[in-house]
Amino acid sequence: MDKLFSLDDLLIKIGSRPERINFWAVLVVKSEDMIFTVSDLEDTLEIFIESPIAVISGENGARELVEKVEKAIQEYILLWQLEAWDLADWHSFDGFRSRLDKGKKGGLILLTEQSTHSLMRYCPNFASWLGAKVFDFEKDAELLTKEETNLRLDALQKWAKLSSDQVIKMAEKRQLPHDPEYAEWLILLNRGDLLEQQK
């Protein structure tokens, strides 16, 4: 399980994928931080993706949750409240994996450490599909300071032998390479909006 050191880390991972839609990942969150994290992610992702986010609870079981996902008109979804699921729910959810792997939807599944273990144990197909996209998420992880951001931008400019202005112009002309470093670069410049144009 990888650790995310900031919300910026998460946005970079989402934004660096050319097929940002249908990107599903698990965020492991402390139970006492869950409500705050859901609210914070909803607000931040709506700005980043420039589209409404669907927040869907699993409190009534796996079948209802998947039905709500299929009916959702939003392209990006946050799933949470899976902690009370029993073995039957987890097995059902595993059987529904192919129904999530369709269309243009994607999203995040917010789980506690305990429910993450349940998913990994009882949903082998889903866990295999997720692969390494399971991240430990800290509510109080610090965003990069201005100094750290400038240092990272300097490193990126040396790596690519380009200026930030040149990268923005290339992105505007859809000429940006698909390396994840360029997605990170745009996010650090607060130009994540240009990532949409790269598809």
Element (H, E) at 136: strand 134-137
C-alpha triplet 60, 66, 69: angle, nearest 5° = 110
- The residue among 90 and 17 whose pLDDT is bigger is 90
**Sequence ranges of the chain with CATH classification 3.40.50.300:** 4-138
pLDDT of 107 strictly over 80: yes
| Residue pLDDT, tens place only, 124-172 | 999 998 888 898 887 655 556 788 788 889 989 999 999 999 999 999 9
pTM of this prediction exceeds 0.75: no
Whole-number pLDDT of residue 163: 95
Nearest partner of 78 among 47, 40, 115, judged by Cα: 40
pLDDT exceeds cutoff 90 at 90: yes
pLDDT band, residue 86 (cuts 50/70/90)? very high
Digit-coded pLDDT (tens) for 2-34: 666 566 677 777 766 555 556 788 999 999 989
Query: What is the rounded average pLDDT of the residues 87-93?
Result: 95
Phi-psi region of 174 (alpha: psi -120 to 50; beta: other; left: phi over 0): left
Assign a CATH topology to domain 4-138. Answer: Rossmann fold (3.40.50)
* Residue 186 pLDDT: 86
Q: Which residue has the higher pLDDT, 22 or 52?
A: 52
User: HEC string of 3-65?
Assistant: EECCHHHHHHHHHCCCCCCCCEEEEECCHHHHHHHHHHHHHHHHHHHCCCEEEEECCCCHHHH
